[in-house]
Amino acid sequence: MKGRTIILDHLNGREAAALMVDGRLDDLLVEGDAPAIGTIYRARADRPVKGQGGMFMATPDGPAFLRQVKGLSPGTMLLVQVTGYGEPGKAIPVTQKILFKSRYAIVTPDSPGLNISRSIRDEDERDRLLEIAHDVMEGSDFGLILRSSCADTPVDDIAEDIAAMRASADQVMQDTTASQEKLTDGDAPHALAWREWTDAAEIVTDAGGFEDHAVLDAIEMATGIGEPLPGGCHMYIEPTRALIAVDVNTGADASIAAGTKANMACARALPRALRVRGLGGQITLDLAPMPKKDRRTFETALRAAFRADSEDTALVGWTPLGHYELQRKRSRMPLAEILAGGME
């Protein structure tokens, strides 16, 4: 099946959204047990972490960890926002930089100014969007970023979105209650899919959509460690407590260029494979043997693949043993953890 299809359904009783591109699972969002990214708390500073420049915060959902704090004393109340998922047994990562993010607009209370996504280059379109921004944000000290999805979008849709985010920001930032409290929840999968998957797509909301569009089969494969690659090669993705290990195998190909071909296929497929599995943290690639002269070509392909990915990933480089290392933001719970109870 060609084209993009967004399927909104439930998986094991959890809200879930799947993006299929040309009949293949390209992204998957599943509701987890941890607080969703974007959740905002009024939290209490609990105890500093010496040597790390951080502070443990007390929230209604358990301890959180705030980095890069200066002059913050235990007992102080402040607003924090969830930025990712902590590993099991660790605190929730949070930030003081609060953002109110929707499909078209991001309101930035701590960063004044009106900004347009740099991907929108047409000057007439930028002028149109700035006019909308000025009209809706008039009288506000908050900043605003208009996202790339605003391009060629009707005025009313953009204005309504900005107004909703401004109203949410006003309500939260003016809150003066002195007790711990969850002020807003982060977006659930269906809302997050609407917010982030903005390219044209068929939308399926009927019950049983995952089964009808082969999403369940794709999820079953994603819960395993094997990932087939073009040309009969494979990569195997195995999470450990310390890191994510990725092993590239050439399969039955015994040609001289087999290793390079397998590694290039890995570079192109890795962002999607990590995304649908919800994996992040330290990642080590145990690549198939290839000449050192091909390393730069591999890095170029890997960089291009991650440039189009939705998650922040740092390409760290080569180790003395010839492995390649990456550091990926933990912005999702691992799919295997969410579905630990088994498929229904």
Q: What is the 3-state secondary structure (H, E, C) of 29-45?
A: EECCCCCCCCCEEEEEE
> How far is Cα 220 from Cα 276, in angstroms, rounded to an integer?
11
Which of 65, 97, 129 represents a domain boundary (last residue)? 97
pLDDT tens column, 81-107: 999 987 777 899 999 999 999 999 999
Residues 274 and 323 grouped into a single domain: yes
> How far is Cα 328 from Cα 281, in angstroms, rounded to an integer?
5
Flag whether 193 is in a domain: yes
Q: What's the Cα-to-Cα distance from 129 to each of 57, 120, 201, rounded to whole Å?
A: 39, 10, 24
The CATH number of the domain where 74 resides is what? Answer: 2.40.50.140
Residues 56 and 136 grouped into a single domain: no
Flag whether 343 is in a domain: no
Flag whether 344 is in a domain: no
The dihedral built from the CA positions of residue 149, 30, 55 and 62, taken in this order, carries a sign that is positive
Residues 218 and 229 grouped into a single domain: no
> How far is Cα 72 from Cα 48, in angstroms, rounded to an integer?
9
pLDDT by residue for the chain (344 residues), tens only, comes to 689 999 999 999 999 999 999 999 999 999 998 899 999 999 999 999 877 779 999 999 999 999 878 778 899 999 999 999 877 778 999 999 999 999 999 999 999 999 999 999 999 999 999 999 999 999 999 999 999 999 999 999 999 999 999 999 999 999 878 889 999 999 999 999 999 999 999 999 999 999 999 999 999 999 999 999 998 999 999 999 899 999 999 988 889 999 999 999 999 999 999 999 999 999 999 999 999 999 999 999 999 999 989 889 999 999 999 999 999 998 889 999 888 844 44
The CATH number of the domain where 263 resides is what? Answer: 3.40.630
For helices 155-173 and 123-137, what crossing angle results, to 10°?
40
Residues 141 and 212 grouped into a single domain: no
Flag whether 182 is in a domain: no
pTM: 0.91
Flag whether 21 is in a domain: yes
Domain of 263?
224-338
Closest CA to 334 of 95, 87, 18, 61: 87
Flag whether 113 is in a domain: yes
Residues 139 and 166 grouped into a single domain: yes
Residues 233 and 326 grouped into a single domain: yes
> How far is Cα 22 from Cα 20, in angstroms, rounded to an integer?
6
Residue 173: per-residue pLDDT: 93
Neighbours of 50 (CB within 10 A): 7
Query: How many domains does the chain contain in total?
Result: 4
How far is C-alpha 298 from the chain's CA centre? 24
- Helix, strand, coil share (%) of the chain residues, nearest 5: 30, 30, 40
